[in-house]
Amino acid sequence: MRSIVSTALIGLLPLAAMAAAPPAAAPAAPDYSQVQIRVTRVAGDLYALEGQGGTVSVLAGPEGALVIDSQFAPLSDKLIAAIRTFSQARLRFLLNTHVHGDHTGGNANFTKAGATVIARDNVRQRLRFPPPGANGAPGTPAVAEALPVVTFEGPTALYLNGQTVRMTPMPAAHTDGDTLIEFPQLDVLVVGDFFRSTGYPVADRNNGGSFRGIADALGVAIGKAGAATRVVPGHGPISNRAGLIEQRDILLATIDTVEKLVRSGQTVEQVLAAKPTAAFDDRVPQGAQNAERFVRGLYTEIAAEKR
């Protein structure tokens, strides 16, 4: 359940010249000049910033700020201005939860502002060698300043501002570079896009994602969450352990239903017509990540397993 202790809106601020960024996951760029940044205190000196794209989390303190994800490049000035409403600490580290442009697009700007970028090995590789786009066009590599300079591929810890920040690589889930970030003293998990509290799950197969892997990653997060744990998703309101469980249960039930339909020889249109998410649609706030996109993605993954 969402708990807002303090909120600030950062509106139409002047933007500096922005560095090139990897392509965004969204099909069309929004009007960034109209985007406002909302700041929510999650716990202690940990804050969540919502604007356009993935949620940004910031751990503030005298030893410097840890920023988790960077949204799109044109929003960097607004994000930094929002951070300055609660902290004047230097931007020390930027940690990416995964590769998508709405989480890494501002990396180069945060690097220029002084942050050291940290991410999994796969995130660096995907930024350097992105897969082709949906239309088959070659992906655009990220500029050098956007690349992680510290990478990891096993459980890793960072100690900052009196907090232990635990980074746990996930199985191939939303992508093949997802990381679960745990703040044990604050009882908070920051999970990136393998959990959304709005819309159905999305597995990016072009970047190594898997719906079954999302279910596994949700299981890991559930195991780390307690009854009072706050869970910061990649998109949507701050949630909790019950939210993680609900999404995993919905995902597993839908995988089971779609798998049976695929194995009976039904086409994707027939599976869609069967409405395998009908029992859940009223409980899942939907936008771009709607039931049709979810079912089509599941069908593609399960049909590929049959071959």
Residue 286's pLDDT is: 83
Q: 101 in a domain, yes or no?
A: yes
pLDDT at 29: 62
CATH classification at residue 215:
3.60.15.10
Say if CB 236 and CB 195 are below 8 A apart.
Answer: no
194 SS3 class: strand
Query: Is pTM, for the whole model, over 0.75?
Result: yes
How many structural domains are present in the chain?
A: 1
pLDDT digits (tens, 9 = 90+) for 194-234: 999 999 999 999 999 999 999 999 999 999 999 999 999 99
Nearest to 54, CA basis, from 92, 106, 6, 11: 106
pLDDT in tens, 248-294: 999 999 999 999 999 999 999 999 999 999 999 999 988 888 999 99
Q: Is residue 200 part of a domain?
A: yes
Q: Is there a domain that residue 83 lies in?
A: yes
| Position 270 in a domain | no
Q: Is residue 274 part of a domain?
A: no
Element spanning 83, H or E? helix 76-83
Residue 278 CA to residue 242 CA, distance in Å, equals: 21
d(CA 164, CA 153) in angstroms, rounded, equals 18
Q: If you write DSSP's letter for every residue of 101-132 in order, what string do you get?
A: HHHHTTHHHHHHTTPEEEEEHHHHHHHHSPPP
CA–CA separation, 79 vs 98, rounded Å?
19
Give domain status of residue 96, yes or no.
yes
Instruction: Give the residue with greater pLDDT, 226 vs 27.
Output: 226
Indicate whether 20 belongs to any domain.
yes
Does 272 map to a domain?
no
Domain of 70 in residue numbering reads as 9-242
Task: Quote the tokens at residue 234.
Answer: 């990649």
